Every structure is written in structure tokens, then in C-alpha cells.
Amino acid sequence: MSSSLSTPVDIDLEVVRGGESDPLLLRQRKVSDSELENLSKSGKRKLSKFYEKQNELIDDLLRPPDVVEEGEERRLLKLKIAVYGSVVANVCLFALQLVAAVLSGSLALFATTADAFMDLASSLVLVFAGKAALTENPLLYPTGKTRMETAGILIFSIMMGTLSIQLLIEGVRTLISASHDIDLSPISIGLVGAAIGVKIALYLYCRTLSQYPSAKILAQDHRNDVFMNSVGISLSILGSKVVWWLDPLGAILISLLILRSWSSTAWEHVQYIVGKTADSAFLQKVTYISMTHDPRVKQVDTCKAYHAGNNFFVEVDIVLPPDMLVCEAHDIAEALQNKIETLPNVERAFVHIDYETSHAPEHRKAR
């Protein structure tokens, strides 16, 4: 199944509709666990991984859009604990790291404290953007305000970039001055150590919920914080006990890492606003839903899905019999639109009706 369809899907749906749950008989294409194990044992691990991913794709295609899996409510509760627990932990850990940085005077610890503060502030920005997005105003914002979150992330990425450049300048200035005193007490080390321990625990907890994008992002954030704080406290200790310039060098290194991380985040969300296409698995899912939606759907002419912020806009062209009544065609298209909009992260779906596929593609305006 192609990830992007600019030509009709030439499948005789009248023939392959063998059952409601699996009209295209995809389940027969799954590779058994024993065959996968034999492939791995024979050294064909890449082929085995390919078939594993294909099995997962088939399972996803055969799962109805509005089905709630067993245990989903319990996992959602765990996800909520992970999100709110991370916010509370970030507040406490920022306070610990700030005390440690002030007591020691370490630039490396100030850099990690700045990162912790921006993590906390970013959570507050996202909460505000999320609430603003839920406030509907169909006259001013006909398609909703969910892109407020993407705009908030972009603004925050710029703030983080500015802060990291300022820390970088301060680290370079300290190196040039060739003078820097650090008073790293056991209390400061203990506070940072406690922060690292809590972050490791949060990372392991969020990793168990990595099927959810928000939990996956939180896990990555906690992992990065563990690395940043470990580098910061290590270079602070070395700067106080071995060579003084290792501490400002640590601040420079951490600033560069923060700048790189948030630059990539900004670029990713710029692509979301511009309208980057969805991944091939999602396009295949929408194509499959459209093909199997109704026995009277003869072909799927075009299937597109692209970002409008974090969510997707979906466009589907389906081919119906030319002699079909307008009311019947309308009901088929509207039902398909509603079905696609039940998919996670679908902001809006647009279903276009055609009676043939020999015409030039729509929307030929030069880009």
C-alpha cells in the first residue's frame, strides 16, 4: 500500500470484501511467531524485524478507529500521573538545583539550573496554550486554536536559544578572565544527586508509557536532564578539586547542548506549521479506512494527510458510481469524514467525491 496516492488504488473491492473485520484479507498476510523465530535463528534478523513491523501495521489497520483497548483507562491514569508528577517534580528539582548553584557559585550548575527552570516554564506555557486552544471561537478561528500549542513551543524555543547563548557568553567571559572561585559543599552535591535520582525514576516510569507521544517526550526530557545534571555536577567537582577552568567549560558545553536541543525542537515545529506530510503508516491507515468504508466506494483516488500544528488535516478523494444519487453520495462521504476524524491527532478530514479518475489532480496552483 503506497504511502502517498496520486493514482487510483486499482483493487476490485467487490471481490476482496470477504468479511466486515478484515475485508481485504490482510490477516492472512501476517507472519507467525514461529516463522519469525526461525528467521532470527537463521541469521535473517533484518527480515524478521521487517515482518514484525508488517504484523504491527496489519493489527493497526484492522483495529477500528474508535476502539478502546483493554486496560486503556488504567494506562491513561498512569499517563496523567506521569504528566502531573513531572510538573511537580520539576518545581521541586528546580528549587534544589537553584540552592546548590547559589551555594557553590558553579557556572555549570547555574547552566543546569537554567535548563531546569526552562523545563518548568515550558510546561506552564504548554498548559496555557492547551487551555487557550480549548476555548472555541468559531467566528474568529473557524478551524480551532489547537496550533496555539505549536506557536507556544516555537516562542519558547527562541527563549531557550537566547538563554543558552547568554550562558555561553558568560562561560567564555569567565575563561578569558582566568579567575573563578567555586565553593562546592557536600550539601550542594547531595542536592544535585537527589535531583538526578528523581529524574532517573521519572525516566523509567515514563518509558513504560512510551506508546503515548506526551509520555515519550517526557521520558526523553528526563533522560536529557539526567545527562545534563551528571555532566554539570561532574565538571563542577573537577573544577573545584582539580582545575578551575573545567567549571566554565562545563557551562559552555551544557549551553551548546541546550542550544542544539531547542534548535531542533524549533525546526521540527516550524515544519508542523508549514504543513509537513504525515508518516507513511498513518497514510496507509487512512487509505485502508477509506477503501473499506463502504461497498460502493470503487477506488481511492488520492489520500493526503499533513500537519496543521501538532495535529493533521486529512484530504481523501473517493470514487463512487456516476449514476448514484447525490443524497447517497453525500451520506457515504459524511460518514467517512466522521470516521476519519475519530482517529487520534486528526484535526479535520475533508472527503471529496468523484465518479472517475482520468481527470488532472485537483489544486494545481503553483507552489
Same domain, 231 and 321: no
Range of the domain at 350: 275-367
pLDDT in tens, 139-183: 777 777 778 778 877 887 887 788 788 888 888 888 888 776 777
The pLDDT value recorded for residue 7 is 36
> Cβ of 192: how many Cβ atoms within 10 Å?
28
Residue pair 165/172 in contact (Cβ under 8 Å)? The answer is no
pTM above 0.75, yes or no: no
Distance from C-alpha of 367 to C-alpha of 365, rounded to nearest angstrom = 6
- If you write DSSP's letter for every residue of 51-71 in order, what string do you get? HHHHHHHHHHHHS-TT---TT
Q: Which helix (H) or strand (E) holds 189?
A: helix 186-207
Last residue of a domain, one of 274, 303, 322: 274
Q: Which helix (H) or strand (E) holds 166?
A: helix 148-177
Same domain, 246 and 105: yes
pLDDT in tens, 29-43: 888 888 888 888 888
Whether the pLDDT of residue 14 is over 50: the answer is: no
Residue 130 C-alpha from the chain's centroid: 15
CATH code, domain carrying 175: 1.20.1510.10
Same domain, 357 and 259: no
Whether the pLDDT of residue 20 is over 60: the answer is: no
Compute the average pLDDT of residues 84-113.
81
Q: What angle do CA 122, 171, 260 make, to 5 degrees?
A: 45
